[in-house]
Structure 1
Amino acid sequence: MKLEWSKDNIVFSYCTEADLKEIAEMLSKESVCKYMFFGPTTEEDTIAYFSPLISSIEGSLKEDKIPHINVFTIREKDTGKFIGQCALFPIEFTNGNYLIGYQIDDSQWRKGYGSAACEFLVYYAFNVLDAFRITGDCTEGNVASEKTMRRSGFQSEGRQRKYWSHNGKWHDRLLFALLKKDISKERMEALKTTYQ
């Protein structure tokens, strides 16, 4: 079973315990968590959250099965330098619908890694998981995340008002989705070629 995928100088691989320290460092930063529905978090909280997910991934891979929850670490291929993480979480009661997420460490911003992560998740969801839909969201004001999803073909599906409170201020949640049927045959073939 395939364990990693690469494009240019970026490698996406299933998250492991060895990645947790760098993930925890990233998620402890106010800058990284500014527009997220969680964080900043402590190292203990990050490990407590991710350890069961990693155990589930490892258990599936040992049985040569595709994991139910897919969390990936993003690194530079040449140096192994940590870039961030991305994930696909199944949405309950809707087989084939997954929620995407991506976090890029602030030292790696403005290098196209968020767009690369989103494109990889589009590939993985529709080609490995055989999803019919990918759901995305972001906090209003997170212009970079909104642009990233729109560039990958996600369409706006609405807004949830006063969804999240942070530092005494309410934020709306913006909703997006990409359907498999919306992707052209040419784009799907290009994605397959890139990550096979």
Structure 2
Amino acid sequence: MSSIYPPLETERLILREFVESDWQAVHIYASDPAVVRYLPFGPNTEEDTKNFLQAEVKMRRKKLRQHFAFAVTLKANKQVIGSCRISITNLDKREASIGFCLAKEFWGKGYATELGSKLLEFGFKQLNLHRIFAICDPQNKASMRVLIKICMRQEGYLREYELIKGQWRDALLFAILERELMQIQFLSIA
């Protein structure tokens, strides 16, 4: 039996678990070379996109969930505009990674910052994590800005970290600790 996690809401977005019928909306951005330029997948074929969604739905069946993938939808009209995820990488260390991807027409509107903040809140408050990190291509300036806006700190520069589309690529490592997020939230309330 697949367990669906309750949707996460922000001011303008709903982050909900994927359903297989999302494939056409996902395929629009997953097949766009500009969107997947810095990502380890794509541009997707229709079969790639359907396989991705089947895998995401299947992962919900695990007794101990360590991976949460969400369709990013607009609150106003429920349109799927991207995806995001948080994946527990080490249970003992209470550590996870986050990632996100948005359709090109929704870049530069603050949606990535909004969903990134919500992923951090979800990870720290609901998954009881201690540390959350993200990996970013050094050429992906927009994603770097988002990670900085959500108060993640650059911790490292990883040389030839991943083999992506036949090329070794460097990566930047960003992270935030639970106590840092709590300090940021306290300061924003004060």
Do both share a fold (TM > 0.5)?
A: yes
Q: Structure 1, unaligned stretches of length 5 or more?
A: 192-196
Give the counterpart letter for 2:70 in structure 1: F
Q: Which residue of 2 aligns with 1:140?
A: 138
Q: Which residue of 2 aligns with 1:47?
A: 50
Change over 3 Å in CA distance of 1:186–1:82 after alignment to 2:
same
TM (norm. structure 1) is 0.83
Identity %, equivalent residues: 25
* Residue 10 of structure 2 corresponds to residue 7 of structure 1: yes
Give the counterpart letter for 1:121 in structure 2: L
Pick aligned residue for 1:71 from 46, 50, 69: 69
Find the residue that maps to 2:151 and give its secondary structure: coil
Q: CA-to-partner distance for each residue in 1:134-164, whole Å, 9 max, x for gaps?
A: 0101111111111111111111111111234
Alpha-carbon distance, 1:177 to partner: 0.8
Output the CA distance in 2 between the equivalents of 1:189 and 1:48.
Answer: 43
Pick aligned residue for 1:187 from 182, 185, 189: 185
Q: CA-to-partner distance for each residue in 1:47-69, whole Å, 9 max, x for gaps?
A: 22331221232x36xxxx88431
Change over 3 Å in CA distance of 1:23–1:189 after alignment to 2:
farther
Output the CA distance in 1 between the equivalents of 2:43 and 2:115.
Answer: 21
Q: Which residue of 1 aligns with 2:126?
A: 128
Q: Is the 8 A contact 1:70 1:87 kept in 2?
A: yes
Q: Is the 8 A contact 1:85 1:104 kept in 2?
A: yes
Q: CA-to-partner distance for each residue in 1:79-117, whole Å, 9 max, x for gaps?
A: 112221100111146452111010010111111111011
Find the residue that maps to 2:34 and give its secondary structure: helix
Q: Is the 8 A contact 1:25 1:43 kept in 2?
A: no
Q: CA-to-partner distance for each residue in 1:158-190, whole Å, 9 max, x for gaps?
A: 111123456776531111111102123561697
Q: Which residue of 1 aligns with 2:117?
A: 119
Task: Tell me the matched-pair count.
Answer: 186
Pick aligned residue for 1:155 from 147, 153, 175: 153
Q: Structure 2, unaligned stretches of length 5 or more?
A: none
Find the residue that maps to 2:40 and give its secondary structure: coil
TM (norm. structure 2) is 0.86
Give the counterpart letter for 1:14 in structure 2: E
Listed as ranges, the matches of 1:82-121 within 5 Å are 82-92=80-90, 94-121=92-119
Output the CA distance in 2 between the equivalents of 1:190 and 1:55.
Answer: 39
Pick aligned residue for 2:21 from 4, 18, 21: 18
Question: How well do the aligned residues superpose, as a CA RMSD in angstroms?
Answer: 2.6
